[in-house]
Chain A
Amino acid sequence: MTDNNHLERGLNYMKRLIALLLTILLLFPLLTACRDGNKAPATDVDGSSSKEDSSNEDTSKEEDSSKEDEVVEGGKLFDEPITLSFMLFSHASYPFQEDWYIIKAIEEKTNVKMDVIAVGEGLEERISLDMASGDLPDLTYIHSISDAQRYGADGAYVNVLDHIDKLPNFKKWKEAHEDSVIQYLAADGSLYEFPNYGIGETNRRGYMYRKDIFDKHGLEIPEDEEQFYNVLKKLKEEYPDSYPFTFRRQLPQFEMIAPSWGTNYGMYYDIDNGEWRYGHVEDNFKDMVEYFYKLYNEGLIPPDWLSLDTKGWQDIISTERAFVTLDYLVRIDGFNVMMKDTNPEFHLAYMPPYKGGENGIRKMAYSSIVPQGYAVASNSKKLEEALKFCDWLYTDEAMELVSWGEEGVTYTVENGERKFIDCEDVADIRKKYGISTHGTYLLFDYDAHMSTFSDELKAAVEEDRKYDLPELPTVAFTDEELEIVQSIGVNINTHAAETISKFLLGTKPLSEWDQYVKEIEELGLQQLIDVYTQAYERLVK
């Protein structure tokens, strides 16, 4: 028999194959691995938010909704039960539950069975994957305007304005809130996303101070940067280990601070002069940087404020080494409750903004809107129904339902005021009933959240509204414009953030400011401004 021979040849063949395979195996994963590596950013959408921490979500403006629109009287929205598919974001702190009260209630009112795909981390990645497969849910609660616009322009989502005649409630709301709608418009004027409205107050940000400490040392609330500095200085003398003014979010927190100094963070629309400007190179911005360098240098803000994360910030506040901070106003309740046990005196209270520098104003930036809303798949088999469902969410009836629920079930009325049953705070409302979770509302009555606030926080919210600057416009870009924004724009922002950080830390002397401005201009600032101007003019037309 030649068995041996066969075996040997077989082995040789195998060896050759193995050699070949190994070579291939070792080589090519690299190629693919690298491509995977570049997809990685997509999965880290949430990484970014955790870095800058937006523990609260959604923003938009609160106003009275003055609508006496038609209601689906008594009956349900649809006569026959139908099923619509949804894709919603499921927050880690209140993961989506099918048997939440609110889901049942919406189904009850509309006769729509909600077939929900709840996505935790990486919603945006999931959406882009679904794009590739073309298999989209009827309704997606999308978190980024630019995503909605890009996919919409590709034909994935319906332009809501094409169907406006079928959307009486939305139409009525839109006519009363054109300013809010304009933020959502794509470069060609299309609207690929039903805007949400009302819940944005969660994101209201402002200054807060330790009232107990201020009172103890007879300190006044500062009105301008000079007084602010003196107060901090005094506090530092009293408490040498402290960093009297501590806040998180690092550089981007200038979004809130800069407008009080008569400038802004990055590209912004100057309403008074009707032009687009770049905040980072303005003289007012320079004054602010100089001021913060002074604070840094004298230990009035933490030495690591440009890398301080949420945890570090919380530690400094809760170990009582900071007396002024800047964050979401709902933190007033958060910290006061948390610190009650360790220090009964602890009292964090609202502080109005100070006027920064000569050209400053005693106002605060409007805490930006977060652009969430429903996008309707253009290839949906139930397009009409999906649109009708969204339209329903703009009725007063729906707003009432999705904000409050039902008397006796989710809330009770005491002394004419509504109180949620068994809910200490907003988190409880969400966890228990699902009310105000993603995708359950488009219009929201913020009083529902306010009902859980302490009187102090309620007053703070009311007070802070007086210091609101107007909401600034955002723009949508065409593909050509976007390329400039993504290349020149990113280069400028990178260089600006890097250099500003150095000025703030004193590793670059402020005498080199002019040089820095020149460098930014050389990177193509004018071109960037032109793109914004062009995009804006198209929008307002």
Chain B
Amino acid sequence: METNISTLQSDTSIAKKKKSFKKKFNDSKYLLLLIAPCFVYYILFHYLPMWGILISFKDFSPFKGFFASPWVGLKHYRAFLTNPNSWRLIRNTFLLSLYSLLWGFPAPILFALVLNEVRNLRFKKVVQTVSYMPHFISTVVVVGMINMFLSPSTGIVNVFLESLGFEKVNFMLDPKYFRSIYVISGIWQSMGWNAIIYIAALSNIDQQLYEAAAIDGANKFKRIIHITIPCIAPTIIITFLLRTGSLLSVGFEKAFLMQTPATYSTSDVLSTYVYRQGLISGNFSYASAVGMFNSVVNLAFLILSNFLARQFSEISLW
């Protein structure tokens, strides 16, 4: 469906002819009805709350309320950007997401492709179910598991390393492993779940294409390259674009639970730092200033990657 969006826009100019609103409304009332819940949802939960951005320019106090809180201009933005740590925080946040994207993004695609080639339906279902199970495990538990597996005294990974004659590694206390652990455990947790969308896209591919290709003598690998991938490319590109739009949004929970002061140099991200500044006790204005900064950067990334996608392929968000 998304593939059509860019072509849709050119069509719209045709419908310029004036027509009474009532009539137009009447014509499309059922379609409007269909989209109404979604529309209301976004207005209610995404547009109205955007007023909240204004508190980043105020010294907001919840009890005084929105209007009574004094305006302070760019104070909170300045406080954030002049912080000696802010560059490191932005870099860590960015790199952590970037690596998650680079390694975490292809994983579910490959997984879906492999799974698609499995002919035993029963086996396929079992694998699929098992693989998205970790998605439902709470982050706290996942980090607990990571801690156990990687423990230098009893952790299975270190026991294994030692049996192969390597030195034990203090994984959780060494800054250079933080990102890898974060990304790999993230892939483990979300690969199966994220593959669902690709599996769905794969199931929509016309089987005749494969049959035709098989008759023409294309082997399995060639069929994947020339049929499967082009068919799911729109899905891939759209999900990719959406992911780039959240490059600076690293989840708080996992980073917080995994980090120790010893790994701050790679593990300290925007959200954990803001947390330590006592935002639990609610400096809402500062938090929204950081959030706003985050969003602006994210938006810039989104626009950039969308532009690139449009340049190099037919597919883009708009």
A interface with B by C-beta (< 8 Å): 6-7, 9-19, 21-35, 37-42, 44-45, 47-48, 50-51, 124, 128, 131-132, 134, 144, 146-147, 150-151, 154-156, 243, 250-251, 302-304, 306-307, 309, 311-312, 315-316, 479, 483, 485-487, 490-491, 493-494, 497-498, 500-502, 504-505, 507, 523
Our pick among B23, B246, B279 for the contact of A42 (Cβ within 8 Å) is: B279
Of chain A, the residue at the smallest CB distance from B19 is A9
Q: With the chains together, A497 CA to B12 CA distance in Å?
A: 59
Instruction: Determine whether the beta carbon of B27 is less than 8 Å from that of A7.
Output: yes
Which residues of B have CB within 8 Å of A307? 147, 172-173, 260, 262
Known: A304-B172, A487-B277, A523-B84. A15 touches B12 (CB 8 A): yes
Residues of B within 8 A of A22 (CB): 2, 5, 317-318
Neighbouring B residues of A493 by C-beta, 8 Å: 276
- Tell me the complex Cα distance, A199–B299, Å: 51
Asked if A38 and B274 make an inter-chain contact with CB atoms under 8 angstroms apart, the answer reads yes
The answer to whether B24 and A35 touch across the interface, beta carbons within 8 angstroms, is: no
Of the A-B pairs whose beta carbons lie under 8 Å apart in the complex, a sample of 6, sorted by A's number, is A9-B19, A45-B280, A304-B172, A311-B148, A479-B59, A498-B265
What secondary structure prevails in chain B residues at the interface with A? helix
Closest to B301 in A: A30
In the assembled complex, the CB of B169 is this many whole angstroms from the nearest CB of chain A, namely: 10
Those 10 A-B pairs whose CB atoms lie nearest each other, nearest first: A497-B261, A501-B262, A131-B62, A12-B15, A10-B27, A41-B275, A307-B172, A154-B63, A38-B291, A16-B12
Which residue of the partner chain A has the closest CB to B88?
A494
Secondary structure dominating the interface of A: helix
Chain B residues whose CB sits within 8 angstroms of the CB of A47 once the complex forms: 140, 253, 256-257
Bin chain B's interface residue count.
35 or more
Q: Are A51 and B257 in contact (CB under 8 A)?
A: yes
Partner of B50, one of A32, A156, A490: A32
User: A44 to B8, Cβ gap below 8 A?
Assistant: no
Interface: B165 (CB within 8 A): no
Hey, which chain B residues are within 8 Å of A154, CB to CB? 61-64
In the complex, are the beta carbons of A21 and B170 less than 8 A apart? Answer: no
Q: Closest chain B residue to A3 by CB distance?
A: B27
Determine if B151 and A312 form an interchain contact, defined as CB atoms under 8 angstroms apart: yes
Contact status B11-A312, CB under 8 Å: no
Q: Which of A40, A134, A523 contacts B253 (CB 8 A)?
A: A40
Q: Is the CB of A501 within 8 A of B256?
A: no
* B281→A147 contact, CB < 8 A: yes
Asked if A491 and B280 sit within 8 Å, CB to CB, the answer is no
Residues of chain A with a CB closer than 8 A to B276's CB: 490, 493-494
Q: Is the CB of B302 within 8 A of A497?
A: no
Residues 32-49 of B, flagged 1 when their CB comes within 8 A of A and 0 if not, give 000100110010011101
Write the chain B residue with the least CB distance to A242: B153
Distance to closest chain B CB from A120 (angstroms): 15
CB nearest neighbor in A for B297:
A34
A144 touches B49 (CB 8 A): no
A interface footprint on B1-31 (CB within 8 Å = 1, 0 otherwise): 0100100110110110101000110011001
Encode contact with A along B243-285: 1 for CB under 8 Å, 0 otherwise: 0011011011100110011101100100101111111111100
Could you tell me if B261 and A498 are in contact, using CB atoms closer than 8 angstroms? yes
Residue pairs across A and B with CB atoms within 8 Å: the count is 247
Given the known inter-chain contacts A50-B140, A304-B151, A491-B83, please indicate yes or no for A505 contacting B262, CB distance below 8 A.
yes
- In this complex, what residue of A is CB-closest to B17? A9
Interface set of B (CB-CB < 8 Å, partner A): 2, 5, 8-9, 11-12, 14-15, 17, 19, 23-24, 27-28, 31, 35, 38-39, 42, 45-47, 49-50, 52-53, 59, 61-65, 79, 83-85, 140, 144, 147-148, 151-154, 168, 170, 172-173, 242, 245-246, 248-249, 251-253, 256-257, 260-262, 264-265, 268, 271, 273-283, 287-288, 290-292, 294-295, 298-299, 302, 317-318
**Residues of chain A contacted by B83 (CB below 8 angstroms):** 487, 491
B260 and A250 contacting across the interface, CB-CB below 8 Å: yes
Q: Are B282 and A21 in contact (CB under 8 A)?
A: no
CB distance from A286 to the nearest CB of B (A): 17
In the bound complex, how far is the Cα of B276 from the Cα of A465, in angstroms?
A: 33
Pick from B28, B249, B273: contact of A33, CB below 8 A. Answer: B249
* A44 proximity list for chain B (CB < 8 A): 252-253, 256, 275, 280
Min C-beta distance of A146 to chain B, whole Å: 5
Interface centre among B277, B282, B283 (most CB of A within 10 A): B282
The docked-state distance in angstroms from the alpha carbon of A20 to that of B252 is: 32
Contacts of A27 in B (CB 8 A): 245, 299, 302
Q: Closest CB-CB distance, A477 to chain B, in whole Å?
A: 10
The CA of A236 and the CA of B305, in the complex, are separated in Å by: 58
- B246 contacts A487, CB within 8 Å? no
Q: Which residues of A contact B279 (CB under 8 A)?
A: 38, 41-42
Instruction: State the CA gap A304–B173 with chains docked (Å).
Output: 7
**What is the bound-complex CA distance between A316 and B154, given in angstroms?**
9
B172: A residues at CB distance < 8 A: 304, 307
Give CA–CA (A183, B281) in the complex, Å.
18
A34 and B280 form a contact (CB under 8 A):
no
Q: A34-B294, A304-B151, A501-B260 are in contact. Are A13 and B50 (CB under 8 A)?
A: no
